[in-house]
Amino acid sequence: MTADEYQRVIDELQALIDDTLQTLKRFEATGINEEMTEDYDKLLSILDDAVKQQREHTQLMLSG
């Protein structure tokens, strides 16, 4: 992958991270996180995976 391609993936992952954080905040603000624990946990998993992937792509871009 080129540096531009890595950057595009990193930016897309950042958008996913931002959207997921906003959704988590809405869950917490309304208390839904306590009623829909499975969905809340899935959102946390999505966030964790996106952060890990973003870190990996950043490291690959910097090492390349």
Compute CA 37 distance to the chain's CA centroid, rounded to the nearest angstrom.
18
Instruction: Identify the DSSP state of 30.
Output: H
Torsion angle (degrees, nearest 10) of CA 23, 10, 59, 40: 20
Task: Give the tens place of pLDDT for each residue, 3-56.
Answer: 999 999 999 999 999 999 999 999 999 999 999 999 999 999 999 999 999 999
Tokens representing 6? Answer: 């890595």
Asked if residue 54 lies in contact with residue 10, where contact means CB atoms within 8 angstroms, the answer is: yes
Query: What residue numbers bound the domain in which 42 lies?
Result: 3-63
pTM of the model: 0.91
Q: How many domains does the chain have?
A: 1
Tokens representing 38? Answer: 């499975």
Contacts of 58 (CB under 8 A, 6+ apart): 6, 10
